Amino acid sequence: MLRLDNVSKTYRVGSFGRGRLTAVRDVSFELREGEVFSLIGESGSGKSTIGRMILRLLQPTAGSIKYGGDDIAGLKRGALKDYYRNVQGVFQDPFSSYNPIFKADRIFKMVHAEFFPEVSGDEWRARLEDALESVSLNPEDVLHKYPHQLSGGQLQRLLIARALLLDIRYLVADEIISMLDASTRIDVLNLLADLKERGLGVLFITHDLSLGNYISDTTVILRHGSIVEMGETEKVFGNPQHPYTQMLLASVPRLHAKWNGGAQARALPEPADVPALVEIESGHLAAL
């Protein structure tokens, strides 16, 4: 179980870090295995910061992130490596996730060298082919190529295959399909659902409500670093309580239904203080 307790992140800004910018404010939630958990927010909502804190690429300023009861902030080299055996990430920009001067399959070699040095080359090759197959990639199409010779969709699948080689429990998927074409997007999304069926916990970070709705069991709506609404996806989308959630839903470009209620979309007053989450119904909380 991956658990966030009152996590906040404040950045120092300006010269000598005199200014403060709060990116994440007092966020708590729990990520379970076998579940897709959507973190939905617009730019500046702190959603990616949360993902990066879970991957320990950033340290929270306050609060704790616990994996199996241990605070990940204190993990040292070996223990951190063990954590990464269980928790992995895929990022938004497939091209930037690869070192451009090396071939794309180097990400697998790195995993082999760092995590499984005892596995023989042949055995590794077999495991790699298995992993590629589970993300529907043909080894011949993708191995021994440079990143710029592959498509965005192929590159993202390779990264998911890399995570699978580690036999992970949790995957942080940070906007992984926002740079892909609509025609390949849905396949990568379905792949995340496959991972869930394999028992993995997926943290799906996105700005696209329809994508979050399509795939997730639990949804969190973030605004300026705070949770404004969270709960079972069907309840949050079916019965949105917070005006911000309602505004977001009204702004989604739908098929078969035109936008209406234009004035609402433009400006929503920003509350000085975010009220605490209250239970609207069972499994559905909102900050009202």
Partner 1 sequence: MSSVPTAPLASPADPSQVEVLPVAQPMSGFRESLHFALRNKKLVFGLSMVSGLLLLAIIGPFIAQHAPLDYGGKLSIAPTTKGGYWMGTTLQGQDVFAQFVTGLRLAFIVGALGGGIAALIGMVVGFTAGYRAGWVDEILNMLTNVVLVIPTFALLLVIAAYLQVRGVLMEAVFIGITSWPWAARALRAQTFSLVSRDFVDMARLSGRSSRKIIFKEIAPNMSSYLFMMFILLFGGAILIAATLDFIGLGPSNTISLGQMMQLSVQNAALQLHLWWWFLPPGLAITALVGSLYVMNVGLDEVFNPKLRDM
Partner 2 sequence: MALHVEDLRVYYRTLAGDVKALDGVTFDVADGEIMGLAGESGCGKSTLAKSLIRLDGRMRHVGGKVVLDGKELPIWDDAAMNKFRFRDVSIVPQYAMSALNPIRKIGRMIHELLRARGVDAKAAHQELERRLEMVGLDPGVLDLYPIELSGGMKQRVVMVISTLLDPSLLIADEITSALDVSTQRAVAETLVEFRDRGLVKSMIFVTHDIGVLYQVADTILVMYAGKLAEKASAEEIVSNPRHPYTRLLVSSLPEVGVRYEDRQLTGIPGRPPHLLDPPTGCRFRDRCPLATARCAEEPPWVEQGGRGIACWEATPAPVVAEPVPVEAR
- Residue among 14, 15, 43, 101 that touches partner 2 (CB under 8 A): 43
Give the torsion through C-alpha atoms of 122, 84, 155, 134, to 10 deg.
60
Interaction between residue 276 and partner 2 (CB under 8 A): no
Q: Which does 124 bind (CB under 5 to 8 A by kind): partner 2, partner 1, none?
A: none
Binding-site ranges for partner 1 (CB under 8 A) = 16, 52, 55, 57, 77, 80-81, 84, 88-89, 91-93, 96-102, 107, 110-111, 114-115, 138, 141-146, 148-151, 159
- Closest contact distance (angstroms) between CB of 266 and partner 1 is 32
Task: Indicate the pairing of strand 36-40 with strand 87-90.
Answer: unpaired
> Judged by CB, which is closer to partner 2: 120, or 183?
183
- As a whole number of angstroms, the distance between CA 149 and CA 244 comes to 42
Which residues ranging from 173 to 212 are in contact with partner 2 (CB under 8 A)? Answer: 181-187, 189-190, 193, 207-211
- As a whole number of angstroms, the distance between CA 259 and CA 133 comes to 41
* CA nearest neighbour of 180 among 211, 209, 219, 143: 211
- As a whole number of angstroms, the distance between CA 210 and CA 217 comes to 13
> Judged by CB, which is closer to partner 1: 67, or 98?
98
Interaction between residue 247 and partner 2 (CB under 8 A): yes
- Residue among 21, 259, 275, 283 that touches partner 2 (CB under 8 A): 259
79 Cβ partners below 8 Å, 6+ apart? none
- Interface residues with partner 2 (CB under 8 A) are 42-43, 151, 181-187, 189-190, 193, 207-211, 213-215, 233-234, 237, 247-249, 251-256, 258-259, 262, 265-266
